[in-house]
Amino acid sequence: MTLTPFAISATAVTNEEFATFVAATGYATDAERFGWSFVFGGFLPDNFPPTRAAASTPWWRQVYQAHWRRPEGTHSDLDGR
């Protein structure tokens, strides 16, 4: 098997860079298409309602409406990130 050359950044993509990519391509993440994502429970408020956890990793919690623009669901945003 051969892999053709490709470019990769030396740093992680910023939210601003990803937003530019989304605006240019119309890309939608799996979380946006499915309507939910697993979120690290430590980022959720203490009063967050119980949700499904990922198998064998209860610290990952299913959060509806969580995606790259709303990392912990509808109550969150990208301000300060």
pLDDT digit string (tens) for the chain, length 81 residues: 999 999 998 999 999 999 999 999 999 999 999 999 999 999 999 899 888 998 899 999 999 999 999 999 998 999 998
Predicted local confidence at residue 50, as pLDDT: 87
Q: End-to-end alpha-carbon separation of the chain, Å?
A: 39
Q: Report long-range pairs for 57-64 (Cβ below 8 Å, ≥24 apart).
A: 62/36, 62/37, 62/38, 63/36, 63/37, 63/38, 63/39, 64/35, 64/36
Say what the pTM is. Answer: 0.79
Chain centroid to Cα 78, Å, comes to 11
Query: What pLDDT was estimated at residue 76?
Result: 94
Report the pLDDT value the prediction gives residue 81, as an integer from 0 to 100: 87
Ranges of each domain in the chain: 30-81
* Main-chain dihedrals φ then ψ at residue 50, nearest 5 degrees: -60, 140
pLDDT of residue 20: 97
